[in-house]
Amino acid sequence: MTSATATTTVTMGKALNLALHDSLRDDPRALIFGEDVGKLGGVFRVTDGLQDEFGRERVFNTPLAEATIAGVALGLAVKGFHPIAEMQFDAFSYPSFQQVTSNIAKYHTRTGGACPMSLVIRIPYGGNIGAIEQHSESPETYYAHTAGLKVVSPSNPADAYALLRAAIADPDPVIFLEPKARYWMRQELTLPLAPDMLDRAKVAREGTDATVIAYGPTVAVALAAAEAAATEGVSLEVLDLRSLSPIDWDTLYASARKTKRVVVVHEAPVFLGLGAEIAARLMHDLFDSLVAPVERVGAPTTPYPPSRHEKLFLPDADRILEAVDRTREY
């Protein structure tokens, strides 16, 4: 396999695959491991073909033991490798939580900065694929709340490639959340792209009447809402957060000051979700700039439902537009 060198149309899954390929090619310290990532290429085929090209010593399967996967990543990072571990599904990462939050997140500080912790944990996350609980979770707040971790979630193939390359090269541990419902999203790209900055949000669509802040799987939903709003003469600015920790507050503040109305949307439950922190900070720091309270759109505080009900559980364009309408009542 070789990475693309001309303009081509790729899915997000393929963009991630090419990012992994190019990182293995360019960095002899990079290693990929996880459940079924070898010959099978992973459940979503993101690691397809990598073991064939780079061998079993650099791309290898692990036992079904997520705590062990995280522990091995920690040990390899201590020894100077750049491990890239995959957790097969979002909720499957929970058994590794103690290793990640107690050890990986703190090792750099615990050693007084003497030991960088350059590793990436890739986690497919989110719903909208017709799967059941433990296969459709949104665990981002757990990781974003943990000091010492960077948390990143791309929403499109270009960002998937550029941000994953940057995450692998970063000296800090990165939780890389891949919205599984977007693995098949297609985009025309000229690869390889330059690695992007991990801590920058992007304006995905310019607007003037309200800002919709989204990330990962909900960016496409927010853009659909903006398209629908435009037919009624309402101009929505869509901001793609990309980095969930740290948050690019400067870009958020600039957009909020411009539109004076803000809606935050995510698939995770509204209660104590990432939107709560964003809403609190904006209301505190920009109280005199906003003309309406910040609205939050997300899931109810219930376990993830059976697939036949997930459309009722997940935020959609209509719910975003209803929230925008509430901000426009002021």
- Burial bucket for residue 118 (CB in 10 Å: 0-12, 13-18, 19+): buried
Give the CB-side neighbour count of residue 37, counting CA atoms within 13 A.
30
In this structure, what token pair is assigned to residue 43?
């459940």
Q: In a 3-state reduction of DSSP, which class is residue 295?
A: strand
In this structure, what token pair is assigned to residue 292?
């309406």
- Contact of 209 with 234, CB cutoff 8 Å: yes
Between the CA of residue 330 and those of 260, 286, 288, 294, 303, what are the distances in Å?
Answer: 11, 16, 14, 12, 34
Between the CA of residue 183 and those of 187, 217, 226, what are the distances in Å?
Answer: 11, 10, 22
Q: Using alpha carbons, select from 160, 180, 183, 172 the residue that is nearest to residue 242.
A: 160
Strands 243-245 and 150-152: antiparallel
**Catalytic residue (one of 21, 82, 108, 135):** 135
Check residue 302 and report its DSSP letter.
S
Give the alpha-carbon dihedral of 297, 139, 240, 251, to 10 degrees.
90
Q: What residues are paired with 33 via a beta bridge? A: 60, 85
DSSP 101-122: IIIITTHHHHTTTSS----EEE
- At which residue do the structure tokens 């990543």 appear? 73
Q: Is residue 135 annotated as part of the catalytic site, yes or no?
A: yes
Residues identified as active-site: 135
